[in-house]
C-alpha cells in the first residue's frame, strides 16, 4: 500500500490531449450549427480539465476578420497528387488556453466563401479539403495528441490517411480517432478523376472503403476508418441506420453500430441569453418579460409588418435548403397566414428558395418579412422577438436554433425528427408539462394542426405563461454533452483526465 507521501510524489498525469479538426469554428467561420458547436464544445471540454487544440483552414474571413493571429514561423508542404503544395501554420488562442491552428494556403482558402458561390461548390473542393486533411496530420506531428476528433466530410480524410497510410505517420501510431457526423446530407462526393489527389492506393477506391456508387466519398473515409463514430443526437444515430434517412450510407452505419453513439449538442448560454444579449433592443428574463414585447414591436416595424402586439409572430432563422422544410412552408403559407399570423424569415441557401421567399413580402404585405442574408445580429433579434419559432425539418441531426428559441421563451413548432424529437416536448394543457408543439408526418395538414394547438394556447394567457416558463428553464447547457465526449475520449485512450 502506498503511503500518503509517496502518493504525493507520483508524477502528475498530464491531461488528455484532444485535437479537433473542423472546417468551421465560430466566430472565425460559420455557415450553421457546426461553427457554433466547435466554438463551445472545446471550451466545455477545457473546463472539464482536458487539453484541447483546434485546426481549421485560414479562410479570408479568418485573415481579414480582425482577429489577433500569430505566425508560428512554420512553412510546410504536403503531397497532393504527384506534387507538393505549400502552406503556412498560423495560430491564435480561444478559451483559457486552447490553441487554434490555422492552415494558411491562400491558393485554396483566400476566397469570398468557404465552400462555393451562389449555391455552386468550388470546382477544386476535393483538392482544397485533401490539402486540409494532410495538413491536419502535419500539425499533429509537432505534438501528437491522444485523440484526433474530426468533424464532417471536410476533415474526414485526415482519419483515412492516418489509418490507411500508417507508414507515413509513424509518430502518430498511438493516436485514436473519432469522427463526428453533423449532417449526412453533405458527404463530399467527387468524381473518380480526383482520386489521384489523395495519393491512396487503388484498393481503397472500393465499396468497402471510399467508393460510393462510382464516386469518391470523403465522409465515408471518416466512417470506415475512425475508431469511433458519433453524431449529434441519439435519435439521429438511430435514423441514419435506416434506408429512409441513411443517405445511402445506412449499411455502413449498421455495420459500425457498436462504435456509433449519438451525443446531443448543447447551447451556449453565454451567447444565447435574453438577460444579457447585446443584439436585442431590450433584454428580458423570466421575471420581466415585457422586454420581449418591445423587441417584437421593433422587429415588426423593422420589417414593415402591422405593429400589433397580439398578432402571433412566427420566426425562422435557417439555411434555405430542402432539409429545413421550405417546400412544406411554401405550401402552407396561405393557410398559415390566413390564421392571422405573421412570419419573419432570415436565411440564405438554395437559389430556388431564396427567390421564392424573397417575393413573399410583396405577396403578403404587412404579414411577411424576409431577409436573404447571413446576419448574426438579426438572428438574435428574430429569436428574441418572435412568439413561435418554426422548424418543419425533413430531417435534423440535432438543431441548435430550437434550443436558443427555448431559452428566449420563443416556443418551437417542430417536426419530430432527429434532435428536434430529442429536445422539444409537446405541451400538455392538462398537466402543464412540455415546451413546444410537434408534428410527425411531413405534410401540411399535420403542421397546421400543430400550429392550431399553438395558436389556441396563445389565447390562454396563463397557460402560455406556464409554457414559456417551461421553455426558458429547459437546460441544454454544454456540460452534460461535453462529459459524454470526455468519457468517450477516456474510454478510447484508456487514460484518465
Ligand atoms: P444547421 O447547422 O443545420 O444550419 P442549427 O440549428 O444547428 O442548423 O444551427 C444553425 C445556426 O446557424 C444557428 O446559430 C443559427 O442562428 C445560424 N443561422 C442560420 N442561418 C442564419 C442566417 N441567415 N443568419 C445568421 N445566422 C444564421
Ligand atoms: C448540422 C445539422 C444540425 C446540427 C449542426 C451542428 O448542420 O443540420 O442539425 O445542429 O450540424 O451539429
Residues 13-55 have pLDDT tens digits of 779 999 999 999 999 999 999 999 999 999 999 999 999 999 9
Mean pLDDT of the chain: 96
Q: Whose CA is nearest to atom 4 of ligand 1?
A: 32
- Region 296-311: mean pLDDT is 95
The closest-lying atom of ligand 2 relative to the alpha carbon of residue 232 is 12
- 494 confidence band (pLDDT: 50, 70, 90): confident
With respect to residue 245, please indicate whether it lies within any of the assigned structural domains: yes
Predicted pLDDT of residue 1: 41
Q: Is the pLDDT of residue 319 over 70?
A: yes
Residue 258 and residue 297 in one domain: no
Residue-by-residue DSSP string for 85-154: EEEEEEEEEETTTEEEEEEE-HHHH-SSSSSEETTEE-TTHHHHHHHHHHHHHHHHHHS--SEEEEEHHH
With respect to residue 337, please indicate whether it lies within any of the assigned structural domains: yes
Residue 484 and residue 465 in one domain: no
With respect to residue 141, please indicate whether it lies within any of the assigned structural domains: yes
With respect to residue 432, please indicate whether it lies within any of the assigned structural domains: yes
- 185 touches 323 (CB < 8 A): yes
With respect to residue 272, please indicate whether it lies within any of the assigned structural domains: no
Cα-to-centroid distance, 380 and ligand 1 (Å): 11
With respect to residue 234, please indicate whether it lies within any of the assigned structural domains: yes
The closest-lying atom of ligand 2 relative to the alpha carbon of residue 396 is 9
Residue 486 and residue 451 in one domain: no
The closest-lying atom of ligand 2 relative to the alpha carbon of residue 418 is 9
**Residue 398 to residue 109: CA distance in whole angstroms:** 28
Q: Whose CA is nearest to atom 5 of ligand 2?
A: 33
- 370 touches 393 (CB < 8 A): no
With respect to residue 5, please indicate whether it lies within any of the assigned structural domains: no
Percent of the chain with pLDDT over 90: 95
Predicted pLDDT of residue 13: 73
Residue 467 and residue 380 in one domain: yes
Predicted pLDDT of residue 108: 98
pLDDT digits (tens, 9 = 90+) for 375-399: 999 999 999 999 999 999 999 999 9
Cell of 144: 501528437
pTM, to two decimals: 0.96
Residue 169 and residue 311 in one domain: no
Residue 86 and residue 116 in one domain: yes
pLDDT digits (tens, 9 = 90+) for 181-206: 999 999 999 999 999 999 999 999 99
Predicted pLDDT of residue 117: 87
Residue 229 and residue 326 in one domain: no
Residue 41 and residue 186 in one domain: yes
Structural domain including 94 reads: 14-266+479-493
Residue 296 and residue 363 in one domain: yes
- Region 233-254: mean pLDDT is 98
**Residue 262 to residue 230: CA distance in whole angstroms:** 6
276: Cβ contacts below 8 Å, ≥ 6 apart: 283
Edge-to-edge order in the sheet of strand 189-190: 189-190, 215-217, 211-212
343: Cβ contacts below 8 Å, ≥ 6 apart: 313, 314, 315, 316, 333, 336, 337, 360, 364, 367, 368, 369, 390
The closest-lying atom of ligand 1 relative to the alpha carbon of residue 265 is 7
Residue 318 and residue 237 in one domain: no
pLDDT digits (tens, 9 = 90+) for 262-287: 999 999 999 999 999 999 999 999 99
End-to-end CA distance of the chain: 23
Which of 26, 29, 32 most suits a substitution to test ligand 2, by most atoms within 8 Å of the C-beta?
32
Q: Which bound ligand lies closest to the C-alpha atom of 404?
A: 1
Residue 466: CB atoms within 10 A of its CB come to 18
Residue 145 and residue 167 in one domain: yes
Total domains, the chain = 2
Measured from CB, residues less than 6 Å from any atom of ligand 2 are 32-34, 37, 182-183, 232, 265, 396-400, 419
Any idea what the CATH number is for the domain that residue 162 is in? Answer: 3.40.50.2000
**Residue 149 to residue 63: CA distance in whole angstroms:** 24
Residue 387 and residue 431 in one domain: yes
**Residue 301 to residue 66: CA distance in whole angstroms:** 32
With respect to residue 274, please indicate whether it lies within any of the assigned structural domains: no
Amino acid at each position: 500500500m502506498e503511503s500518503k507521501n509517496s502518493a504525493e510524489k507520483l508524477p502528475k498525469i498530464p491531461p488528455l490531449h484532444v485535437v479537433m479538426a473542423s472546417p468551421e469554428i465560430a466566430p472565425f467561420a460559420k455557415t450553421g450549427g457546426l461553427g457554433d458547436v466547435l466554438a463551445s464544445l472545446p471550451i466545455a471540454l477545457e473546463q472539464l480539465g482536458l487539453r484541447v487544440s483546434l485546426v481549421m483552414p485560414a479562410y479570408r474571413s479568418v485573415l481579414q476578420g480582425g482577429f489577433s493571429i500569430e505566425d508560428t514561423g512554420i512553412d510546410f508542404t504536403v503531397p497532393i497528387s504527384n506534387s507538393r503544395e505549400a502552406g503556412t501554420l498560423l495560430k491564435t488562442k480561444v478559451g483559457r488556453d486552447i490553441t487554434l491552428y490555422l492552415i494558411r494556403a491562400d491558393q485554396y482558402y483566400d476566397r469570398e466563401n468557404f465552400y462555393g458561390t451562389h449555391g455552386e461548390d468550388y470546382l477544386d473542393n476535393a483538392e482544397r479539403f485533401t490539402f486540409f486533411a494532410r495538413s491536419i496530420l502535419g500539425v499533429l506531428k509537432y505534438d501528437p495528441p491522444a485523440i484526433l476528433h474530426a468533424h464532417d466530410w471536410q476533415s474526414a480524410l485526415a482519419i483515412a490517411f492516418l489509418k490507411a497510410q500508417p507508414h507515413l505517420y509513424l509518430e502518430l501510431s498511438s493516436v485514436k480517432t473519432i469522427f463526428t457526423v453533423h449532417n449526412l446530407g453533405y458527404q463530399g462526393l467527387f468524381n473518380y478523376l480526383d482520386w489521384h489527389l489523395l495519393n491512396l492506393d487503388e484498393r481503397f477506391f472500393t465499396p468497402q472503403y471510399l467508393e460510393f456508387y462510382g464516386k469518391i466519398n470523403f465522409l465515408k473515409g471518416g466512417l470506415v476508418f475512425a475508431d469511433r463514430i458519433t453524431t449529434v443526437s441519439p435519435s439521429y444515430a438511430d435514423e441514419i441506420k435506416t434506408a429512409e434517412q441513411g443517405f445511402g450510407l445506412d449499411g455502413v452505419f449498421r455495420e459500425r453500430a457498436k462504435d456509433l453513439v449519438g451525443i446531443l449538442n448543447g447551447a451556449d448560454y453565454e451567447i444565447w441569453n435574453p438577460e444579457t444579449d447585446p443584439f436585442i433592443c431590450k433584454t428580458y428574463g423570466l421575471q420581466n418579460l415585457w422586454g420581449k414585447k418591445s423587441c417584437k414591436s421593433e422587429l415588426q416595424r423593422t420589417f414593415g409588418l402591422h405593429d400589433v402586439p397580439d398578432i402571433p409572430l412566427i420566426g425562422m432563422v435557417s439555411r434555405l435548403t430542402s432539409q429545413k422544410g421550405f417546400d412544406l412552408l411554401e405550401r402552407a403559407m396561405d393557410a398559415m397566414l390566413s390564421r392571422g399570423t405573421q412570419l419573419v424569415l432570415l436565411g440564405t441557401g438554395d437559389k430556388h428558395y431564396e427567390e421564392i421567399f424573397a417575393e413573399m413580402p410583396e405577396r403578403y404585405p404587412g404579414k411577411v418579412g424576409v431577409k436573404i442574408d447571413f446576419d448574426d445580429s438579426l438572428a438574435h433579434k428574430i429569436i428574441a422577438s418572435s412568439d413561435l419559432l418554426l422548424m418543419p425539418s425533413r430531417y435534423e441531426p440535432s438543431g441548435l436554433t430550437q434550443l436558443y428559441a427555448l431559452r428566449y421563451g420563443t416556443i418551437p413548432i417542430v417536426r419530430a425528427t432527429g434532435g428536434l424529437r430529442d429536445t422539444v416536448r409537446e405541451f400538455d394543457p392538462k398537466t402543464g408539462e412540455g415546451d413546444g408543439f410537434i408534428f410527425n408526418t411531413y405534410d401540411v395538414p399535420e403542421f397546421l394542426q400543430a400550429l392550431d394547438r399553438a395558436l389556441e394556447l396563445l389565447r390562454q394567457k396563463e397557460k402560455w405563461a406556464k409554457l414559456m416558463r417551461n421553455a426558458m428553464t429547459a437546460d441544454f447547457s454544454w456540460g452534460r454533452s461535453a462529459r459524454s465526449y470526455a468519457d468517450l475520449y477516456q474510454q478510447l485512450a484508456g487514460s484518465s483526465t
